[in-house]
Amino acid sequence: MRRLIRRTTSVWEREDGFSFLLVLLVANLFVAPLLKDGFPGLAIAAAALSFLLFVVGALVVAKTVWGAIFVALLAGSATALEMVRQIDASDPLAKWRLVAACLTFGVFALVTLIRVFSPGPVTSHRLVGAVVAYLLIGLTWACAYEFLASLRSAAFQMARAEGSYPPFLYYSFVTLTTVGYGDITPVSSAARALSNLESLIGVLFPAVLIGRLLTKQGAGAPPEAPDAG
């Protein structure tokens, strides 16, 4: 039993944990909203994926004792407030929930980037970590947009949409990828500033950060053997 616990713990301490976190991020971003929209009876499963994301994220990014305590407090607060929303549909602590989620995802993204660019060889797990950080940035901004809209309902102008896919999750990623369909428009100064910052990150992240990782990986590759011919 102890050996099993040690093996499980070592997964999170190594870079392998990025792959687990990526799977959960994809499930939360693309699967859970469709489950809630198309199959209302599976809303509990979608909520469970959300809780699991906080737990796994905390396990992956926390490497020191104090870091683990800090991340556990953030993720625990976000999880508790998410549970309140699931129990009470009126979401009485919406602003606090969004702040906690925004800070949690932001810390996850920052720590992930620090670990990705820490000294050592560039492995496939680190490339996965860069993708994880990119998705976490999109989630962080989605929470920030929703928080801004909770403070001022007229901060964004939205076209009518079918289904219940989270509008700010959708808006965050079309902004991060600089697609910009125009069906959601930032109106207030704060909304425009946040949108500009996210679109700038969306342009620079693949070009600079992931490009640097790939360059570092190439520089660390062993030289090719000379052609015998």
Residue whose C-alpha is closest to residue 106's, from 198, 200, 213, 207? 198
CA distance 75 to 51: 9
Q: pLDDT value at position 5?
A: 38
User: Between 145 and 209, where is the model more confident?
Assistant: 145
Contact between 165 and 37 (Cβ < 8 Å): yes
User: Between 74 and 109, where is the model more confident?
Assistant: 109
Q: How far is CA 68 from CA 60, 86, 158, in A?
A: 10, 26, 39
- pLDDT tier, 199 (very low <50, low <70, confident <90, very high otherwise): very high
User: Between 117 and 224, where is the model more confident?
Assistant: 117
Q: Model pTM?
A: 0.81
Q: pLDDT value at position 129?
A: 86
- At residue 184, φ and ψ (nearest 5 deg) are -125, 125
- At residue 111, φ and ψ (nearest 5 deg) are -65, -35
